[in-house]
Structure 1
Amino acid sequence: GLTIRSILAHASGLPAWLPLGHRLWEQHPDTVPGSHEAKRLIRGWIQSEVAKLPIQNTATTPTYSDIGYIVLGWWFESRFKQSLDELIKSRVLTPWHLTSTRFVGTNEWTSGDSPLANFSAATELCPIRKRVIVGQVHDENAFALGGVCGHAGLFSTADDVGKWADHLLNSYYGFGPVKQETVKLFWTTGGRFSQNDTRGHFGNKISPADLGTWRLGWDTPSVTGSSGGNNIPRDAVGHLGFTGCSVWIVPSLCATVVLLSNRVHPTRNNDAIKTFRPALHNLIWDIVRQTTPQQNKFSSS
């Protein structure tokens, strides 16, 4: 069935994406994004997808799922009796001193304008909102849900993302804000197996396809064609964002690399990032490898 672990590793069997926002605007055009009614309708549509899952999850190939992370966000809110933005602020952003990172919910929008409009890069010319999006979540489903979601909606700066990544890298080495065993668990465990496992259920040998590239909340480099470059270390973990953002953390090099871009401006048809991103990372890895481990240790690039 549906578990937190399977959702984290994109092995839940939930679909990659659903046109929830588009369905809301087409079927209920008068419903305000982020309103109680909008959330009720979307929750019902997702619950119908969850109901289709088999009691025993037989999925063998991980599939990236935004829907799973929307569900996970709801679980955290139910478990801790706090909204997701308040929960993340109190448990991560404030104690880790990430002062330039936040969600922007619909309750903060004034006449359609975001409080971050003067501090954010423009993204796409949205056909639904009928304007270029600035300081509002780009993802249509997150917008329909009010801008605060488990899969999208968090605004930040390269400096803050770098600090966040460094906190995790330091934790990997045993002196960060997260338990070392927790970070290692998330970076080495897939939806069904760990990369250290040699045998799976019933003694069957585990193939690379069984593990996939996904770990718990993280991705790892593809064997070929990785966005992290063709010489990215194999112990790297990271994640990409649809709008052109990415982060990679490499324990063996003691390095973190953050790229924040607006590749969807003015439209998502611009896919030049596919060649730019690996080329940039190849250059960075070459530079990092030229320095000594002592110079690199516990610093971001």
Structure 2
Amino acid sequence: MSLHRISDQAFAPAASSIDCGDIPGAVLGIVTADGQRDVRWKGYAQIEPHEENLSRETWFDLASLTKVIFTTTTILRLMEEGRIALDDPLIKVIPDLRQYDMNAAERRLTFRQCLAHQTHLPAVEPLYTCGQDPNTLRAFILQRVWQSGPPVYSDINFMLLGIAIERITGKPLIDQPLPQSFSFRPDPRLCAATERCTWRGRVIRGEVHDENAFALGGASGHAGLFGTIDGVLDFAHGLLGGSILSAGSLKAIRTRESEKRTVGWEGFYPGWHGGDACSPTTIGHTGFTGTGLWVDFERGLAWSLLTNRVHPSRHKDSGILGLRRATGEQVIALFDGRTGF
């Protein structure tokens, strides 16, 4: 079966979700280690305040895919350059982290712990309600006495990593160099809309959906990156081919730091969003807006499903977990059963 037919059939669950009104639109892209790719799309980039069709060139708010495509990759490249080590404490580059308490737990956090979500920091807090001055909000994040708890998937971890990147490079995240198909400042006319935001009083399009990232100036270590399906597939192909990261960094993102986490990524486990047919060494990540990327190194295969499932509201059941799992199961079943590929 050709890759064209695989993507066509694997897109069926997304097409059904669009037809049922569960999501406005979706684009599915598949890429192999040898560079073959195919893309399918359907639906609307925007339905409010007026309808606009989605296309292969539509830019999506990648949400937490920012964590793996930008932040994890950038930290690992800085490590490769010898500027930091994974087990260095954050205070090596953020010496003012909890600077009024030299015994604070945050001062012992390492890059590895933050990347693998193995810290005491909470999942998320509405920091944007403290105000919208980015520098003051960064200072608040650095000096806050965070409530201690068991390790959880935490946006705060990656906010700190984003601040670390800014300190090391001397550039705000929003001004960091990016490949052509990624941006922190996309043209809103090219973007899929996200939520009708009650806080901002408008339908969000071309500006980050995540309120905390918006308050931090539009880009943060945990969210803010926009991209096209081909940009995401270029990145995935680079991981499969070893051109994005060194062998040591690739080993880090493939090696378990906990039951479900590697450095930056989520590792396969039964019931995860990528579907249960993935090989055990598959890594993946999702984004709140309805995005996702999975890389199966054993098969030399990666796929990305990008949707705007929060448009016009997050407060509905879009069925995104079931859609992601069904898509992954279809991709792998069809790929494994291919002939004449």
Measured against the shorter chain, the TM-score band is 0.7 to 0.9
Decide which of 283, 286, 292 is 2:333's aligned counterpart: 286
Question: Which TM-score applies when normalising by structure 2?
Answer: 0.64
1:86 aligns with 2:205: no
The percentage of aligned residue pairs carrying the same residue is: 37
Matched to 2:284, the amino acid is: G
Matched to 2:302, the amino acid is: T
1:269 aligns with 2:269: no
1:150 aligns with 2:239: no
Instruction: Report the counterpart of residue 23 of structure 1 in structure 2.
Output: 130
Rounded to whole Å, the distance in 1 between the matches of 2:207 and 2:175 is 18
Matched to 1:64, the amino acid is: Y
TM alignment of 1:1-301, pairs within 5 A: 1-24=108-131, 33=132, 38-49=133-144, 51-52=145-146, 62-87=151-176, 89=177, 93=178, 98-104=179-185, 116-171=187-242, 176-190=243-257, 211-223=258-270, 225-271=271-317, 272-291=319-338, 295=341
Q: Displacement, 1:143?
A: 0.6
Rounded to whole Å, the distance in 1 between the matches of 2:306 and 2:333 is 20
SS at match of 1:152: coil
Rounded to whole Å, the distance in 1 between the matches of 2:310 and 2:226 is 16
On the 8 A contact 2:122/2:147 being kept in 1, the answer is no
CA-to-aligned-CA distance 1:99-152 (integer Å, 9 cap, x gap)? 121102xxxxxxxxxx52210011001001111101110000001111011111
Matched to 2:338, the amino acid is: T
Matched to 1:281, the amino acid is: G
Rounded to whole Å, the distance in 2 between the matches of 1:177 and 1:245 is 21
On the 8 A contact 1:102/1:154 being kept in 2, the answer is yes
Where relative contact order (Cα < 8 A, 6+ residues apart) is larger, the structure is 2
Matched to 1:163, the amino acid is: D
SS at match of 1:146: coil
Q: Displacement, 1:222?
A: 2.6
Gaps of 5+ in 2: 1-107
Cα distance, 1:85–1:169 mapped onto 2, change above 3 Å: farther
More strand by share: 2
SS at match of 2:307: coil
RMSD: 1.9
Question: Which TM-score applies when normalising by structure 1?
Answer: 0.73
Count, aligned residues: 233
Q: Displacement, 1:40?
A: 3.3
CA-to-aligned-CA distance 1:246-279 (integer Å, 9 cap, x gap)? 0000001100111110010111123311211111
Matched to 1:125, the amino acid is: R
Rounded to whole Å, the distance in 2 between the matches of 1:226 and 1:234 is 12
